[in-house]
Structure 1
Amino acid sequence: MNQSLEKYLTAVDRHLKPLPVSERADIVKEIKSTMLELESEQMSSKQILDRLGNPKDLAKAYLKDLLVKEKRCSVKRFLILWAFYTAAGFSGMIVIPVLAVIAPVFLLCAIAAPVLGAVKMFDYLLNLQIPFIQNMQIVFYGIIDLNPVAEFFCSAFFGILLFFLGRGAWKLLLLYLEKLSHTKKNLS
């Protein structure tokens, strides 16, 4: 069997991923035996590939055939699907919106905090007297009143902290969606 036929079998196997390994192996063996029969009838590899068609279409045909034959409608399966969609729905109403709002807000604040701290520090150092900037300040429980240079370093620290919080919230959102999608694929 030549290399083009092997590539075809690999492509069919790749498109049969939703099936268990044993069923995929059986289907690939069946296609391989068909190829060997056609080779014994003196058909070229190009003619064999033309006769079999697109590997993706062939794999879809096998998948559809197995879905029609398969009768997995049980109470247990129904309860598992019901539990998954209920949990995904209720958690999705809270988790996705909260993380989708928190992540960009924290990232924007991570940029704004050091920028405003730098503007206040330059206003203080150059005595520019920019309106509203002099009223901005970081106060720790009304006990410690910092000068603008120290406020800049505090705002830079808070900017870094907010950046990591925003980045973490974004990664958590992507991880949640990925796990949800993976679980749904496993249930289907």
Structure 2
Amino acid sequence: MNQSLEKYLTAVDRHLKPLPVSERADIVKEIKSTMLEMESEQMSSKQILDRLGSPKDLAKAYLKDLLVKEKRCSIKRFLILWAFYTAAGFSGMVVIPVLAVIAPVFLLCGIAAPVLSAVKMFDYLLNLQIPFIQNMQIVFYGLIDLNPVAEFFCSAFFGILLFFLGRGAWKLLLLYLEKLSRTKKSLS
């Protein structure tokens, strides 16, 4: 056997680390015997490596086969599933509703604040006297009284900030749900 095939076997062995040493040795011996059979059929080492695929994928296939065989009921499996569903349930009662409310509210406020402030600024500059528009203002606890032009720039800044916070909350919600789904798929 040449050096590239030996490196391949070492890489497969490295990716099979979650398994006990005896099972890893059996799998590596099986792959090695398959390689020797292919060499006896006059296949080059490159053809053998191409046929076997990447070492990581081959190791994953063996790990999945062993996990499928290990689906029997056990206390450890029960505790893992119980812990997952408990954590998912409790975090889902808080994380999902909070992010599902915060994301659209921040997005809408991030868009509405600069738009309404722009309307107020144009009302001020063009002296249109639009009803109730003078009642809209940014309040800094009564310390500073801003004119509508300064309010526009201030609300544009906060609008952009709110928009990106809402967008981040939405992406975080999607990431949380995707991660939860992936974890559940790996457990079942």
Q: Same fold (TM over 0.5)?
A: yes
Moved runs in structure 1, 4+ residues, more than 3 A? Answer: 1-71
Deviation at 1:184, TM superposition (A): 1.3
Residues 91-139 of structure 1 show CA distances to partners (whole Å, capped at 9, x for unaligned) of 1011011101110111011110000010000000011111110011112
Q: Which runs of 5+ in 1 are unaligned?
A: none
Q: TM-score, normalised by structure 1?
A: 0.65
Q: Secondary structure at the match of 1:134?
A: helix
Q: Indicate how the Cα distance of structure 1 residues 136 and 19 shifts in structure 2: closer, same or farther if over 3 A, else same.
A: farther
Q: Secondary structure at the match of 1:140?
A: coil
Q: Which moved more, 1:68-77 or 1:39-48?
A: 39-48
Deviation at 1:2, TM superposition (A): 25
Instruction: Give, in whole Å, the separation in 2 of the partners of 1:180 and 1:52.
Output: 32
Q: Indicate how the Cα distance of structure 1 residues 185 and 68 shifts in structure 2: closer, same or farther if over 3 A, else same.
A: closer
Q: Secondary structure at the match of 1:139?
A: coil
Q: TM-score, normalised by structure 2?
A: 0.65
Q: Indicate how the Cα distance of structure 1 residues 162 and 54 shifts in structure 2: closer, same or farther if over 3 A, else same.
A: closer
Percent of residue pairs identical: 95
Residues 151-172 of structure 1 show CA distances to partners (whole Å, capped at 9, x for unaligned) of 0000100110001100110111
Instruction: Give, in whole Å, the separation in 2 of the partners of 1:22 and 1:83.
Output: 30
Match of 1:104 in 2: 104
Instruction: Give, in whole Å, the separation in 2 of the partners of 1:99 and 1:17.
Output: 38
Q: Which runs of 5+ in 2 are unaligned?
A: none
Q: Indicate how the Cα distance of structure 1 residues 51 and 162 shifts in structure 2: closer, same or farther if over 3 A, else same.
A: closer
Deviation at 1:14, TM superposition (A): 21
Q: Indicate how the Cα distance of structure 1 residues 184 and 160 shifts in structure 2: closer, same or farther if over 3 A, else same.
A: same
Instruction: Give, in whole Å, the separation in 1 of the partners of 2:123 and 2:65.
Output: 74
Q: Indicate how the Cα distance of structure 1 residues 34 and 133 shifts in structure 2: closer, same or farther if over 3 A, else same.
A: same
Instruction: Give, in whole Å, the separation in 2 of the partners of 1:67 and 1:11.
Output: 20
Residues 133-154 of structure 1 show CA distances to partners (whole Å, capped at 9, x for unaligned) of 0011112111100000000000
Instruction: Give, in whole Å, the separation in 1 of the partners of 2:47 and 2:109.
Output: 63
Match of 2:133 in 1: 133
Instruction: Give, in whole Å, the separation in 2 of the partners of 1:50 and 1:157.
Output: 56
Q: Superposition RMSD on alpha carbons, in Å?
A: 4.7
Q: Which moved more, 1:11-20 or 1:163-172?
A: 11-20
Total equivalences in the alignment: 188
Instruction: Give, in whole Å, the separation in 2 of the partners of 1:20 and 1:184.
Output: 25
Deviation at 1:186, TM superposition (A): 2.0
